Structure 1
Amino acid sequence: MNITLRQLRAFLAVAQAGSFTLAAESLCISQSALSGLIKELELGLGTRLLDRNTRRLHLTEIGERLRPRLEGVLHDLDATLKQVIEHRDMQAGLVRIATPQLLASALMPELIAAFQARHPKVRVQLLDTAVEQVMARVFASEVELGLGPEREANSDIDSTLLFEGPFMAVFPPGHPLDGRPQLHWAELTAYPLITLQGQFTERLSQDLRAAAPELAFKPAIEVAYMSTALSMVKAGLGVGLCVPYAASLIRVYGLQMQALGGPAIYRSFEVFTRRGRTLSPAAQSFLDFIGPRIRAMPHLR
């Protein structure tokens, strides 16, 4: 049996119009072409679907049974194809993203708002999670995209560079470091250093040892959340560290930040996706949208 969609649509058009002439017009084909499609369908099914003469047209019993079922099937098919086209043309869609809490609060809201202003029918679902869980969320297919600091290679996850930014010193207005044209890591040793626990500090310590072995990098306080670190900096308990994408959060706390040199240490942030999976049009469009905007921000590249 070799039944085609074109044959089924031809039969349904005739059944609904009750006329070969009207059905042919609705399908924009000739009556002879329409008759040929109906004949091919009946031959393929091995039964007649229409009784017709020069005056009248009737559905056979089998034709009557086929019509409502076919109407439902083709309606569902057309609706599905419409959804595919809408997703392709960004008239619908869902982007699911996992990011660490700091990225989620300091960077993503404005980017999501700008993206949805351009694509109002595409929803963006943001999952803020622990930095160690970003890749796991991608692997479990809870999200399509993960954004976060670079991690060790994973055979199930593809990673692509999104942006890089240098470490910045964070301090209150009027601090002795405020207003200096350039800051060096060695200058921070005169003040208690407040950093984040885990890979943030461990990786930074490794990078500094490799780039400047003579530097004494010894954080005085390590906390779990950037909000805690910034509150402590605001209270005058020490100097903090951050990457420039957190500028909006630094302003909320009324703090200053300045790039550190001697040496400049950069942190890379990547996009994580499931290996071998094609991104949805909405997810790919979101990445294409946010990448240039992030890299155009001060100090980022």
Structure 2
Amino acid sequence: MSRNISLRHLRYFAEVANSGSFTTAASRLFVTQSALTSTIQQFEEAVGLKLFDRNTRRVVMTPEAFRFKDEAEKIIKEFDAAIADLEALAQSQKGHIRIAAAPSTIYQFLVKAVMAFRVQYPDVTFSLRDASAQQVEQLVVDGELDFAIASKHKGFAELDYSPLLEDRFGVVCRPDYRLASGHGPLQWNELVEDDYIGFTPDTGIGTTLRNHAPRWPAIENPQFEISSSTSLLAVLNEGGCFAIVPALTAKVAGFESLAFRELVDPGLSRELCLITRRLRSLSPSSQRLVRVITETIRQQNLPEGVTAFISNPA
């Protein structure tokens, strides 16, 4: 009987499940309510289970349907992503590229690479997102992004992570703060816990510090947390405090007037990776853009504390 079930059945099921209404679902699917009802009945007969309970106010999923809903939506997303890949191949040099990246990479080299790419391929359009590390991986898994450039956050099995850069951590602060004085790197035992500004756990920097920094109480329980480099800049400019950030972050716009000193004993670094869906080919346009990005990194004078290790991740 499963051979009689098509993607149409899954789409109709998911729409009714999400809307809780046959009328609303039919409108969103651009089908008649009778056609939708008939398709759901076919689905229920094919699997031998009742999927929805109907009352005068709302359509409610049965427990079996509730358990199946996530799997159905996953199948739909994977199918749509596969078709999108196929369409991108057909479009060749045309099409639309969807990217997300860490803010520091957008500022340091990604925008430069995209602008160079557009000179060669003016018919390709772009969406560039500045998303948190937590969001980036899920967006690539769901097929809402072609690729991303960010650090590994959760490490999804469905994704490939190709290292592009090693970015070493250090202290960033105002020049008149005591840690700014002196030359060379800093050691962890020189830091003052009460002056530390931390990053929230949903950020790539926050995750890296919590998982890989040496045992230092303020890392786990900072008195002050922020969730973006923009917020951090505002706090640091008030003075009397410091943060621990990668070297690339310390070089983004607005941070030029701040001091940065690398941390050692032990040193700490993050990998910025090209994040793609495993077993899914990038479209020709995306492959060309990745080549332009890697060439831009090779040609650029990277800030102190940043090392490229690129062969050819495309």
SS at match of 1:129: coil
Q: Is the contact between residue 223 and residue 229 of structure 1 (CA under 8 Å) also seen in structure 2?
A: yes
TM-score (norm 1): 0.61
Q: Which residue of 2 aligns with 1:226?
A: 229
Write the mapping of 1:5-16 to structure 2, written as runs, cut at 5 A.
none
Q: Distance in 1 between matches of 2:212 and 2:277?
A: 29
SS at match of 1:276: coil
Q: 1:262 aligns with which of 252, 262, 265?
A: 265
Matched, 1:284 2:290: no
Q: How many residues get paired?
A: 212
Q: Which residue of 2 aligns with 1:188?
A: 191
Matched, 1:271 2:274: yes
Q: Which amino acid in structure 2 is aligned with residue 127 of structure 1?
A: R
SS at match of 1:97: strand
Q: Distance in 1 between matches of 2:240 and 2:181?
A: 19
Deviations 1:145-173 (A, max 9, x none): 02211134323222211211011211112
Find the structure with the greater CA-based Rg.
Answer: 1
SS at match of 1:167: strand
**Deviation at residue 286 of structure 1 after TM alignment:** 1.7
Q: Distance in 1 between matches of 2:217 and 2:157?
A: 36
Q: Is the contact between residue 101 and residue 130 of structure 1 (CA under 8 Å) also seen in structure 2?
A: no
Q: Which residue of 2 aligns with 1:201?
A: 206
Q: Distance in 1 between matches of 2:144 and 2:207?
A: 28
Q: Is the contact between residue 169 and residue 239 of structure 1 (CA under 8 Å) also seen in structure 2?
A: yes
Q: Which amino acid in structure 1 is aligned with residue 174 of structure 2?
A: P
Q: 1:113 aligns with which of 110, 115, 129?
A: 115
Q: Is the contact between residue 107 and residue 245 of structure 1 (CA under 8 Å) also seen in structure 2?
A: no
Q: Is the contact between residue 137 and residue 143 of structure 1 (CA under 8 Å) also seen in structure 2?
A: yes
Q: Distance in 2 between matches of 1:118 and 1:110?
A: 13
Q: Which runs of 5+ in 1 are unaligned?
A: 1-82
Q: Is the contact between residue 95 and residue 283 of structure 1 (CA under 8 Å) also seen in structure 2?
A: yes
Q: Is the contact between residue 107 and residue 246 of structure 1 (CA under 8 Å) also seen in structure 2?
A: no
Write the mapping of 1:1-301 to structure 2, written as runs, cut at 5 A.
87=92, 90=93, 92-101=94-103, 103-104=105-106, 108-182=110-184, 183-189=186-192, 192-199=195-202, 200-209=205-214, 213=215, 215-218=216-219, 219-249=222-252, 251-252=254-255, 254-294=257-297, 296=300, 297-298=302-303, 299-301=305-307
**Deviation at residue 179 of structure 1 after TM alignment:** 4.3
Q: Is the contact between residue 197 and residue 224 of structure 1 (CA under 8 Å) also seen in structure 2?
A: yes
Q: Distance in 2 between matches of 1:246 and 1:107?
A: 12
SS at match of 1:195: strand
Q: Which amino acid in structure 2 is aligned with residue 207 of structure 1?
A: H
**Change in CA separation of 1:96 and 1:239 when aligned onto 2, cut-off 3 Å:** same
Q: Which amino acid in structure 1 is aligned with residue 210 of structure 2?
A: S
Q: Which runs of 5+ in 2 are unaligned?
A: 1-87, 308-314
Q: Which residue of 1 aligns with 2:40?
A: none
Provide the identity percentage.
23
Q: Distance in 2 between matches of 1:154 and 1:131?
A: 12
Q: Distance in 2 between matches of 1:280 and 1:170?
A: 39
Q: Distance in 2 between matches of 1:243 and 1:229?
A: 13
Deviations 1:69-93 (A, max 9, x none): xxxxxxxxxxxxxx97983xx5x44
Q: Is the contact between residue 192 and residue 237 of structure 1 (CA under 8 Å) also seen in structure 2?
A: yes
Q: Distance in 2 between matches of 1:250 and 1:185?
A: 27
Q: Is the contact between residue 96 and residue 144 of structure 1 (CA under 8 Å) also seen in structure 2?
A: yes
- CA RMSD in angstroms comes to 2.9
TM-score (norm 2): 0.59
Q: Distance in 2 between matches of 1:237 and 1:174?
A: 8
Greater mean deviation of Cα atoms: 221-230 or 148-157: 148-157
Deviations 1:235-267 (A, max 9, x none): 114101221222442545632222221211001
**Deviation at residue 95 of structure 1 after TM alignment:** 2.1
Q: Distance in 2 between matches of 1:253 and 1:208?
A: 25
Q: Distance in 1 between matches of 2:113 and 2:261?
A: 23
**Deviation at residue 275 of structure 1 after TM alignment:** 1.7
**Change in CA separation of 1:206 and 1:287 when aligned onto 2, cut-off 3 Å:** same
Q: Is the contact between residue 101 and residue 131 of structure 2 (CA under 8 Å) also seen in structure 1?
A: yes
Q: Is the contact between residue 134 and residue 153 of structure 2 (CA under 8 Å) also seen in structure 1?
A: no
Q: Distance in 2 between matches of 1:244 and 1:120?
A: 33
